[in-house]
A and B are shown apart, each in its own frame.
Chain A
């Protein structure tokens, strides 16, 4: 509940910042609406009684009151609807932006890869509408309760027994809460299905994957699966809604019975001459309006519940370690990076990917990691860059545990290319320049990086990349060179990771690029940068100062090329194997 209040305060503040005047007007309109229902009911009573009694003055007063109430309520309804769209829309944009910043400021990527986490922040995104409407659903509830009090007061003024009608609203509220919970559960269960459907859909309509689907004639099979997922989700939600409707119908039956009873009570009062026929009209008007008031309460409760559920997810995200706190990394690496007893297991996996890894990555040196597919090379790289946290053991940077360094600070001193680097279809200047956002407009710097990586210049730095956006679509090899150019934008990295950065390049190009990186490392030796390279090409690997052979998540052997060749172990065997192709 405290979380709920805090988020309400946060969003109310956002709302006021986005449109103070609109927010005030909207609040006044909502409060004003509370009186409209009573005015309508009273005017109808007066209209019926005074016209039957022939009191022309009273009739005129009733008409004026009723017409004003009606016009106010319908115009208010519309203005209010549009103002709400306007304000909630603006706040939603701001909130989505905040959520996006939060998600991307988390230093690790476990939350992006592991289903239960993905579901959580997906739900936050999906509830951004309900979250943004929080202040208004809260105000709606308060005002509807006020209006309800006025209604009950009027009913009681006819006969105290009539106020019991409001008590019958309680089962309605309970049934509604139950229906809400059913719906929410079904929606939660559907998130994964719909995400799966969305992925399958993208495979069919996005050109990159669709080319393979087209050639395989796989469209029909994917379509069938996507349709099944969609239908399952829709049916599941419908069945939850129907079950909810059954509960609500039962509650409405009780209410309708009470309503009929109320009218019979009033009829008795009229027969006894204790009230007028107009009172019966007032009761009908109030009881039917009571229904719409209750509906507002119910709807705002639904929205509040939806928001309420997202509240916990929201604070979960806010409290996720954000990584801006911690020590600053050393300006210069003196010793190096040390892994001691590092183990890693993917969430939900049944066995470790890395077992008890001890490694020294000395400052100023180039370290190559080789090993079979699935040996854990990329996982090791992700641990070094802080994308994953070790399940056990520690990484230290010049003796300081990596965990105690500020993740933002550490990231700022990293550079390199991940195996599945991003192919960002931005402008050429941007896709390279984001390697160092400070220089994103510094054309000479970017041009130099592009030239050094041998990346294509296309039609200048402002060329749009990506066929779907009317630009050129680089080949995979060209993308890799662009990614390398991006990594060259960093000035004094402490650690450079290159995870098969050149797999799509020809060996000569790889050789030449690797020399470039070694030269880079050399010039950055004053900063003591460690360069960590993953490659399957031994002509490149042998140039490294230190070579680590990983096997099934363990360090099998390590040393210089000469040492490992002399040892005649796994490395030597693999080296000779590759060499054979060049005899």
Chain B
């Protein structure tokens, strides 16, 4: 009988933990696909399979930091965001500027003297860092430019591949 008591106690406490730390916090409606590179000139827009990535990664915070999902695990972020709760802005572009180096963005960053995150990646940099960073771990996913987004005619001209017809893009990968 005392053994049963222990087991019940243990089971109850486990339940309590899982309830207080829900693995996926209730958040804004999640899109199944996201069209990325919408304004791309050199590379065409493409559809990002958000649903598939959720199924594969499960941890929202791996990509969305502390904005949604579980608490942050990165020890450097955890120094301040250990107990940060989910926030309303979840999409990448909500925080990462698509024009990180425009005079307006630089002036705005300089004006906010109380801000800690001065070294914030732009939208393009954040996405490539997130995607390529994860994909390059033990061949988890594609890393070549055109494996995700096909190059446009203008892009071919830009990389001088149309008239010189040298090697195809990313023949050797990265």
The finding on whether chains A and B are genuine partners in a shared complex, rather than unrelated, reads no
